[in-house]
């Protein structure tokens, strides 16, 4: 019979038990559940809802549960439904119902599961943040080595204008920094204390919710009890942050796949990050990038999953909400693994700078420069310059030539009444000059890219500090709790009382 | 070093291995992989690509792999990447490379994984089909008991017209029969043989693909090698069939939730299919229905996942396609569990027929009947009758009455010049008469519902036969393979050769 | 005041009217709505629910509505909510309520809207079918010209084995033929008659639903009234068929984009199917392919939209279901436009066969052939051959060579004890020989590809016939209805009655 | 021939034009496009890239375009592809290419379309913010009137504990305030200036991007040119904010639907916000709520659409990105309409407080209170109290009684050794006392709910101020631009130059 079974006249079928239990998902939250219970019990004692003497067996047995869990001696049982009932049962069996049965005073599983989830998600967000930071740093390191490595910039996957490899890498850094910011915002959304909302209505017992906020290191106490137990926007917001991050991962993955082709040949993967074929002996496949790209769907699916779950739910806790964890847990696993593998892949990849230089010269990528030159030096309307250069390119293509044939280019320009000396023409059409000249804010000039690289690096350091601060806040709260539980467990109840009074 | 490692100069990093392995997902396909290999090896022998003497150690060690797997002595190693490499490595270690190394002749993992997946999915579709059939039967059984149990039919969740519980139950049966049909169509899509397409181009070795088709019990051989290894529409089509089924599950789940409320009180769940609250002692929650409703998002997410994966993939096998299995495996687990629990829930639920009768009389559900009566007996235009009855209802509502107040109804009708005797009015407004009168094809009359119930039951029996036939086809192919492998393993090579020649 | 306004004491606010009307979406179904009403009215007359004299003004004014609509003189008014109320109002205003008010006898908007939608979707499916057929034919035509045009086959976007352009094109044909099949299955799902289910319960009036089935050309009559008005799987199934088709479109689109790059240079788009840049004069962008790829998300979104709508809906018509049309209409528009533009793009594209030939020789694509040769001629285990060839490739890559350096290849093979004469080696490594040799079912050999091309072409012709038959069935039903309505409108009521009696 | 057509030898086909144009979507951004062009032209003049004399015709004709657009005399032509080309063509036709052709100097459509979109989205976010604020205010107003209106609080759609209507309403307010916050964050993400990134690489012309930032009222200048034109996270982030908002709308919609049922009868919709049935005269359907619930799928679909589009795109502008606008425009339309209609619906709805009071007493909703009482007064462990009360409830249910039968309750408690006097029991089981007693932070006690209502109201006022400040910032920038353009148009070039110099 379940702990909640008073009004029931029958046990669940095995099917029902199997269908409703959440042990696999909950197994990641055992320590968080116990911490939440420690904090709750201390608060009950502080508010004299239970006595300090009641507290002692509760804390002692919670601690044993923790130790047993860490040594593999306390394993969650599916027939006990969830982590909460498993821990409470462990406690009651250990400390007896007269003590263990007091822990669940003034709380419900509805708020308890939110505590557990928020504590766990908090950690996962920090881990994800760190892994993404490393990836961004990888892009910045690539940039540092390649401020003057010229390559074709693409739009529509066609050569557009010359850029540098550093410009390309800093674009990714800049893009991923916004993903980092979204993780931080999700962290703020998650890091609030739901404990004390109880089932949906608060409680008539004289609780003090600020105490658990402090003990669990939450930034603040979420207020409205019904809102607390009904809402899951902190889950969807986190899932969205991860989805957008995966979307961005899929873009770099796509470029790795194509840059590694025989045709592009702009990048060779390290053998440690590429796989072979069971049948074709010559193959070296960019599987790591393909799997990253292939896994974006998992995370999109996780987001849709949770949004679907929320659709049309009335207010109040509904059991549907139990299903908030599987998609989020999965999304963390996927995104963390992808962030990590992309870092390894990019750190070790070899960029073919010669090939890049070859490509940038071969296919009219400085046509815009030529048009801009005519604007500035010949004072023609840009639209006219565009048409002239377009015509020159079109006719060069027809005769299978490109700008490297300066004579032909010069002669075609002359037909439009443009008479540039070859030296100027050479300079205008030179990709290296072109990237130097684009000195507008955010443009390709090495000075500008160096500036942006430095700013991104600085920005990354600032977020590192914020992440470490968050980790320390958690650690500090953990220690505060430990200090009290240690005193209680070692039966120094006076000292414990004093510490509790100071909360 | 991997089996495919000839051209590589470095091992994979642990991260790369962890990121690219598919052991968890593959572990469901070990027996399917071995069957596929047995069939492939037999075909190679039949075509004299390998000799019957080569076949013996291959078959023997494949059989040992199977036995070891079933007894837990052969566990897949993540560092061997996938089920294929695990089995091949087991074989090579057992039989030596001179024999074991011959198995992968004229095939690729690209077609091998499709064999495994199709064999596995085939089974899962049959299981799902059976579970859904049981659910449909449950609805038909409910119908059988309630051909004359009158209840309000709802549109917009408002009382619309009187129906019977049998009418409601047969509607679900009718709806789910289409889901069953979609499962069967997905089965046809899945049950074709991809083996022999090799990497993407077929092979120069003299294979005979019909042989493996026969040995594996596929209905036919899929032809175009490049299409075979590129396409995954058999996955998405299956996922769609499961998604639509879950959509339908969520509808009955919603009704279970609401019918179980204090307010509707049309249904009480058996205690074995309802859960309590950790804090509120009086609660009896329809968690099973809520979780079914809450899990529909998982399957929608699985479908979106796979569609996203396919987006923008060039032709040919891309490693992204490895990610086709996690969403589908998950979707099977979810839908099968939901089908099963819904059957249990509905079988044991108690329907409150008194409450249904009370509700159907209380709220104007026979208003349409009154309008129809006026059409038929008074030869008024329906639109006029609608307006008259609408006005009568509106005024009854304003005076807090309903049709049970026959006098008031009669009097309001009179004001519109309609003078019905009370007896007729009683009959017209009686819900039981109303359902009897709706004798149009597909309508509520008990005779019509009995007819539809019988047809659905018949239809279900026919699909049962089809499912059993499919299962027997698989079994027969399995036995044919076993017959040959048994002969080979017991070194009766002449007999084996003869069996092979007969293929 | 609305036609249904009898019980209401207040008009809707403008906001409510604006929020609930569906005029934009309904405007595509005006003619279908009128046809449905004609058929319904004829059935009412046949069943003597209305008289032949009642029928005359109804038919006459429905016909006028049709004419006025076609000439732009009958425009749907949003304040009349939907197409049904617009047509009924037109009718009542024209024919008077004593006649016009009779049309809605024994039907509800719940079944009426399903008739309209099914008639419209039926047409759209046929159009989509035709456009997809043209695209498939385009691939088959490409194949016909290129049975011996050798090119690299890709897996993981890396050169895998030599294939032909015809092999590539027939793979797409084979893939799209399954999409065609799914459209046909969706057609079967759609082409059933819902009319007569009325609100949810059928009717007490003596209707004959087979009559409207015949007049509207439906293949059969859908039976269960509650199932009919509750279910929308015919919408989701159609949306899934379109989604999978778009997934496949996005794959060919991706290949067009990459094949058009300077790096691949395997394809040049016709100038009529490529766009320029507003700033970069040299650009020629594959916008058509990019937009196709970019629009796949629209259709996926449409599918998920509808699945979301269905989640958790109780049985019966719920107004949520009104929202089934916007996503489906949009999906038809998108997929039809994409099918059409891909046909144009591919018909006019120029394939660079020289470049293909160059690529196929440059990058070890015949390595598998070499391994297979060793299997067949040297009787080595495939796994060993794979390793030998892998090592040879690896060492050639290190010294920046490829198979075109026969001497080096020969010498590296010798180190493995393989002594092939140069002539044999030349033949084994020749891509053209390789494709010829892959004669397995579904392989690359021209004879096999010609066979598959012929089968696909035949299959396409068969589906063309099925589509034309479906179109003729619709046309025949339309004519049958017209015959009767013409007789009625020209007041040849005896003849009309006779035709009706024959139904 | 297109303005970009220099290198092309052929016009587009009509199909290609139709497939690539974006006129419908662009038509909402005409005024934004012109403002962007005005700002860009002024910047060019300030930087002496064009002269003040060049500026005059450009500004004059841009202004005419605006006037013509507002009077319907300038309509976008699909064959001109997009809003940019339409406006530029208008300008060139008006001012001549020697002037009009200069506007596109130092910009690309790649950055121009982002300016237009960001300006438009900025406005739409403010509108959405305002409509959502009104909805929140509606909930707060409901709360104000019902601090002591007791009703059942639900979990699992089962009666859980007594709450007040104010508590319920403030929960929604609290939930929606987070949606409001997400809109503000999206606003920050959107409100940055992309202009000047040009195609992808910046420009060699001496632009000053801060000038357009100022003239267009952006909060800051986005820096990295390649990041700017590649990224669309400002679109997905906005779509997510709207999706989560719709998820929340669907929850209140669900409650409106169920509360309006005959069975719940807790709410009656105003006749102006409910619709009738075409066939059933008595029906009053909550269509407005159903459509809100039914449209959540549209917005989810819009989000997934855009996420799908981003999947696997390489860096740089790809034409796929054109498809970012249709889903977002649609999502704004849907969410704004839903916010607005929910406000109207809730403002006018009638809450049945008597029915609420009846329900709250009828079904054990104070069971937790009884358990809590035993904890506090009898010092029993909560788990024990839970079991005792559970047993009492179970036995009352079996004998068809509830807590209103105080004698029976008392007697059952006695069997557990609990002897409460009837007066205390009455008080403990009284719902009104219960809500008063739940004084924990965020609980149901009227004082606490009043406190939360006040805080939410204050919070709403603060966001109102922020929204108005944002609107004023836009207005101020608009005026600054107008001041200059007016001076230019009235040929007061000296004054114009002075204003420009001051920028």
Q: Which chains touch B (3 or more CB pairs under 8 A)?
A: A, C, D
Res A120: pLDDT: 98
Percent share of chain B, pLDDT over 90: 94
Asked if B291 lies within 8 A of A321 by C-beta distance, the reply is no
Asked if the model's pLDDT at residue C289 lies above 80, the reply is yes
Q: How distant is the Cα of C397 from the closest Cα of chain B, in angstroms?
A: 9
Buried/exposed A292-310: b ≥16 CB within 10 Å, e otherwise: bbbbbbbbbbbbbbbbbbb
3-state secondary structure B373-408: HHHHHHCCCHHHHHHHHHHHHHHHHHCCCCCCCHHH
* Cβ contacts of C271 on chain D, cutoff 8 Å: 8-10
To which H or E segment does residue B350 belong? Answer: strand B350-351
Residue A272: both structure tokens together: 């440690």
Mean pLDDT of chain B: 96
pTM comes to: 0.97
Question: pLDDT tens, B17-39?
Answer: 999 999 999 999 999 999 999 99
Structural domain harbouring C270: 116-140+163-208+217-358
Q: Per the domain annotation, does A475 fall within a domain?
A: no
CA distance D166 to D155: 17
SS3 C309: helix
Distances (CA, A) of B347 to B272, C264, D336: 11, 63, 45
- Return the active site residues of C: 156, 277
Specify burial of residue B399 (Cβ count, 10 A radius: 0-12, 13-18, 19+): exposed
To which H or E segment does residue C472 belong? Answer: helix C446-489
On whether both B345 and B373 belong to a single domain, the answer is no
Which is catalytic among the residues A51, A220, A277, A490?
A277
Question: pLDDT tens, D327-366?
Answer: 999 999 999 999 999 999 999 999 999 999 999 999 899 9
Residue A137: both structure tokens together: 């740093």
Which runs of E-coded beta strand occur in A313-367? 350-351
For chains A and B, CB pairs below 8 A equal 228
Measured between CB atoms, which of C261, C281, C370 is closest to A367? C281
Asked if C281 lies within 8 A of A312 by C-beta distance, the reply is no
On whether both C303 and C374 belong to a single domain, the answer is no
Q: Per the domain annotation, does C494 fall within a domain?
A: no
On whether both B37 and B74 belong to a single domain, the answer is yes
For residue D1, name the pLDDT band (cuts at 50, 70, 90): low
Measured between CB atoms, which of C258, C280, C311 is closest to A160? C280
Q: How distant is the Cα of B395 from the closest Cα of chain A, in angstroms?
A: 32
SS3 C400: coil
Asked if the model's pLDDT at residue D279 lies above 90, the reply is no
Residue B499: both structure tokens together: 């069996």
Could you tell me which chain D residue has the CA closest to the CA of C288?
A: D20
Residue with tokens 């080979």: B488
Q: Per the domain annotation, does D423 fall within a domain?
A: yes
* Cβ contacts of D344 on chain C, cutoff 8 Å: 13, 15-16
Mean pLDDT of chain A: 96
Residue A437: both structure tokens together: 């000249």
Q: In this structure, what CATH number is given to the domain that contains residue D91?
A: 1.10.275.10
* Cβ contacts of A136 on chain D, cutoff 8 Å: none
- Mean pLDDT calculated for residue range D366-386: 91
For residue C476, name the pLDDT band (cuts at 50, 70, 90): very high
CA distance D199 to C276: 12
On whether both D175 and D302 belong to a single domain, the answer is yes
Question: pLDDT tens, C370-381?
Answer: 999 999 888 899
Question: pLDDT tens, C43-100?
Answer: 999 999 999 999 999 999 999 999 999 999 999 999 999 999 999 999 999 999 999 9
Q: Per the domain annotation, does A72 fall within a domain?
A: yes
Residue D151 bridge partners (DSSP): D163
Buried/exposed C436-466: b ≥16 CB within 10 Å, e otherwise: bbbbbbbbbbbebbeebbebbbebbeebeee
3-state secondary structure C102-156: CCCCCCCHHHHHHHHHHHHHHHHHHHHHHHHHHHHHHHHHHHHHCCCCEEEEEEC
Measured between CB atoms, which of B97, B197, B442 is closest to C223? B442
Asked if D271 lies within 8 A of C9 by C-beta distance, the reply is yes
Res D280: pLDDT: 86
Name the residue among A162, A490, A128, A190 with its Cα closest to residue A340.
A128
Alpha helix (H) ranges present in C349-398?
A: 353-362, 367-378, 382-398
Q: In this structure, what CATH number is given to the domain that contains residue A276?
A: 1.20.200.10
Dihedral angle of Cα A87, A93, A98, A103, to the nearest 10 degrees: 0
Asked if the model's pLDDT at residue A1 lies above 60, the reply is no
Dihedral angle of Cα D347, D349, D353, D354, to the nearest 10 degrees: 160
Res C9: pLDDT: 85
Phi, psi of C491 (to 5 degrees): 60, 20
Q: How distant is the Cα of B387 from the closest Cα of chain A, in angstroms?
A: 34
On whether both C283 and C373 belong to a single domain, the answer is no
Res B257: pLDDT: 98
Question: pLDDT tens, C158-206?
Answer: 999 999 999 999 999 999 999 999 999 999 999 999 999 999 999 999 9
Percent share of chain C, pLDDT over 90: 94
Q: Per the domain annotation, does D154 fall within a domain?
A: no
Q: Which chains touch D (3 or more CB pairs under 8 A)?
A: A, B, C
Which is catalytic among the residues B9, B156, B204, B278?
B156
Asked if D200 lies within 8 A of A312 by C-beta distance, the reply is no
Cβ neighbour number for residue C92 with a 10 Å cutoff: 21
Longest dimension (CA), chain D: 100
Q: How distant is the Cα of C6 from the closest Cα of chain D, in angstroms?
A: 7
Question: pLDDT tens, D111-147?
Answer: 999 999 999 999 999 999 999 999 999 999 999 999 9
Asked which of C409, C429, C449 is the last residue of a domain, the reply is C429
Question: pLDDT tens, A39-67?
Answer: 999 999 999 999 999 999 999 999 999 99
Residue with tokens 């000292």: A495
Asked which of D358, D393, D419 is the last residue of a domain, the reply is D358
Measured between CB atoms, which of D175, D255, D383 is closest to A231? D175
Q: Per the domain annotation, does C22 fall within a domain?
A: yes
Residue D28: both structure tokens together: 């909402």
Cβ neighbour number for residue B48 with a 10 Å cutoff: 9
Residue A113: both structure tokens together: 């599961």
Asked if C281 lies within 8 A of A156 by C-beta distance, the reply is no
Which is catalytic among the residues B277, B411, B414, B490?
B277
On whether both A287 and A413 belong to a single domain, the answer is no
Question: pLDDT tens, A348-390?
Answer: 999 999 999 999 999 899 999 999 999 988 889 999 999 999 9
Question: pLDDT tens, D460-493?
Answer: 999 999 999 999 999 999 999 999 999 999 999 9
- Mean pLDDT calculated for residue range A206-235: 98
Asked if D226 lies within 8 A of A153 by C-beta distance, the reply is yes
A277 in catalytic set: yes
On whether both D55 and D127 belong to a single domain, the answer is no
A129 in catalytic set: no
Dihedral angle of Cα A206, A207, A211, A212, to the nearest 10 degrees: 170
Residue with tokens 């998300």: C297
To which H or E segment does residue A25 belong? Answer: helix A23-26
For residue B1, name the pLDDT band (cuts at 50, 70, 90): low
Strand pairing class (A192-193; A158-164): unpaired
Q: Per the domain annotation, does A257 fall within a domain?
A: yes
CA distance A370 to A423: 13
Which is catalytic among the residues A156, A204, A278, A440?
A156
On whether both A311 and A412 belong to a single domain, the answer is no
The per-residue DSSP string of A124-165 comes to: HHHHHHHHHHHHHHHHHHHHHH-TT-EEEEEETTEEEEEEEH
Does residue D160 contact residue D188 with C-beta atoms inside 8 Å? no
Q: Per the domain annotation, does C257 fall within a domain?
A: yes
Phi, psi of C22 (to 5 degrees): -135, 35
Measured between CB atoms, which of D197, D205, D437 is closest to A442? D197
Buried/exposed C207-238: b ≥16 CB within 10 Å, e otherwise: bbbbbbbbbbbbeebbbbbbbbbbbbbbbbbb
To which H or E segment does residue D267 belong? Answer: strand D267-268
How remote is the C-alpha of D98 from its chain's centroid?
Answer: 45
Question: Which residues 6+ apart lie within 8 Å of A224 measured at CB?
Answer: A197, D170, D171, D174, D442, D452
To which H or E segment does residue C159 belong? Answer: strand C158-164
Helices and strands: H and E segment counts in chain A: 21, 6
On whether both B351 and B372 belong to a single domain, the answer is no
Question: pLDDT tens, A268-294?
Answer: 999 999 998 888 888 899 999 999 999
Asked if C271 lies within 8 A of D10 by C-beta distance, the reply is yes
Residue B275 bridge partners (DSSP): B285
Asked if B101 lies within 8 A of C440 by C-beta distance, the reply is no
- Mean pLDDT calculated for residue range B367-392: 91
The per-residue DSSP string of D283-324 comes to: --B-HHHHHHHHHHHHHHHHHHHHHHHHTTPPSS--GGGGGG
Res B281: pLDDT: 85
Res A279: pLDDT: 83
On whether both B75 and B126 belong to a single domain, the answer is no
Name the residue among C78, C93, C82 with its Cα closest to residue C33.
C82
Question: pLDDT tens, B54-74?
Answer: 999 999 999 999 999 999 999
How remote is the C-alpha of C392 from its chain's centroid?
Answer: 48
Asked if the model's pLDDT at residue C1 lies above 70, the reply is no
Q: How distant is the Cα of D178 from the closest Cα of chain A, in angstroms?
A: 9
Res C498: pLDDT: 96
The per-residue DSSP string of A395-448 comes to: HHHHTT--TT-HHHHHHHHHHTT----HHHHHHHH-HHHHHHH--STT-S-HHH
Measured between CB atoms, which of C105, C393, C434 is closest to B375? C105
Res D208: pLDDT: 98
Residue D409: both structure tokens together: 């309750």
On whether both C281 and C228 belong to a single domain, the answer is yes
* Cβ contacts of D274 on chain C, cutoff 8 Å: 8
Q: In this structure, is the dihedral angle defined by the CA atoms of residues B350, B354, B358 and B361, taken in order, positive or negative?
A: positive
CA distance C5 to B494: 87
Residue with tokens 């309520």: C97
CA distance D219 to D231: 18
Does residue C227 contact residue C201 with C-beta atoms inside 8 Å? no
Which is catalytic among the residues D277, D399, D411, D490?
D277
Q: How distant is the Cα of C331 from the closest Cα of chain D, in angstroms?
A: 12
On whether both A100 and A226 belong to a single domain, the answer is no
* Cβ contacts of D294 on chain C, cutoff 8 Å: 309, 318-323
Asked which of C429, C463, C482 is the last residue of a domain, the reply is C429
Question: pLDDT tens, D151-186?
Answer: 999 999 999 999 999 999 999 999 999 999 999 999
Instruction: Indicate the length of chain B as a whole number.
Output: 503
Asked if C4 lies within 8 A of D281 by C-beta distance, the reply is yes
Provide the number of structural domains found in chain B: 3
Segment D216-219 long-range contacts (CB within 8 Å, at least 24 positions apart): D216/D35, D216/D36, D216/D39, D216/D115, D216/D119, D216/D477, D216/D481, D217/D473, D217/D474, D217/D476, D217/D477, D217/D478, D218/D118, D218/D191, D218/D192, D218/D193, D219/D188, D219/D191, D219/D192, D219/D473
Q: How distant is the Cα of A54 from the closest Cα of chain B, in angstroms?
A: 20
């Amino acid at each position: 019979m379940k702990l909640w079974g008073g009004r029931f006249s029958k046990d669940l079928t095995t099917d029902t038990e199997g269908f409703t239990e959440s042990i696999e998902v909950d197994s990641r939250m055992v320590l968080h559940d116990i911490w939440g219970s420690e904090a709750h019990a201390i608060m009950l004692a502080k508010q004299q809802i239970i006595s300090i003497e009641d507290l002692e067996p509760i804390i002692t047995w919670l601690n044993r549960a923790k130790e047993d869990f860490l040594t593999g001696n306390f394993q969650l049982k599916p027939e006990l439904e969830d982590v909460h009932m498993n821990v409470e049962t462990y406690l009651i069996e250990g400390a007896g119902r007269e003590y263990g049965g007091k822990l669940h005073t003034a709380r419900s599983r509805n708020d308890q599961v939110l505590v557990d989830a928020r504590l766990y998600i908090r950690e996962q967000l920090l881990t994800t943040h760190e892994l993404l930071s490393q990836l961004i740093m990888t892009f910045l390191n690539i940039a540092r080595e390649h401020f003057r490595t010229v390559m074709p910039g693409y739009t529509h996957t066609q050569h557009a204008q010359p850029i540098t490899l550093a410009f390309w890498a800093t674009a990714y850094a800049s893009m991923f920094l916004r993903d980092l910011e979204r993780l931080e915002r999700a962290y703020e959304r998650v890091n609030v204390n739901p404990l004390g909302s109880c089932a949906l209505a608060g409680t008539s017992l004289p609780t003090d919710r600020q105490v658990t906020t402090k003990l669990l290191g939450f930034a603040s106490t979420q207020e409205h009890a019904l809102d607390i137990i009904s809402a899951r926007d902190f889950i969807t917001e986190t899932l969205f942050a991860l989805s957008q991050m995966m979307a961005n991962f899929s873009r770099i993955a796509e470029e790795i796949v194509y840059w590694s082709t025989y045709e592009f040949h702009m990048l060779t993967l390290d053998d440690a990050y590429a796989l072979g074929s069971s049948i074709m002996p010559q193959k070296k496949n960019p599987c790591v990038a393909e799997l990253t790209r292939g896994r974006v769907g998992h995370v999109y699916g996780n987001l849709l999953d949770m949004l679907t779950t929320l659709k049309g739910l009335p207010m109040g806790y509904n059991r549907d909400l139990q299903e908030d964890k599987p998609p989020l847990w999965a999304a963390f696993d996927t995104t963390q693994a992808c962030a990590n593998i992309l870092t390894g892949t990019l750190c070790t990849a070899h960029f073919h700078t010669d090939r890049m230089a070859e490509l940038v010269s071969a296919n009219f990528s400085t046509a815009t420069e030529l048009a801009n030159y005519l604007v500035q030096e010949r004072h023609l309307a840009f639209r006219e310059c565009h048409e002239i250069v377009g015509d020159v390119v079109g006719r060069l293509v027809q005769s299978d030539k490109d700008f490297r044939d300066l004579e032909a280019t010069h002669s075609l320009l002359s037909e439009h009444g443009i008479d540039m000396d070859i030296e100027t023409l050479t300079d205008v059409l030179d990709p290296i000059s072109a990237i130097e000249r684009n000195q507008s804010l955010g443009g390709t000039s090495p000075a500008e890219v160096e500036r942006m690289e430095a700013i991104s690096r600085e920005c990354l350091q600032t977020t590192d500090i914020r992440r470490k601060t968050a980790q320390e806040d958690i650690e500090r709260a953990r220690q505060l709790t430990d200090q009290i539980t240690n005193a209680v467990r070692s039966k120094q109840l006076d000292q414990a009382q004093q510490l509790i009074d100071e909360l």
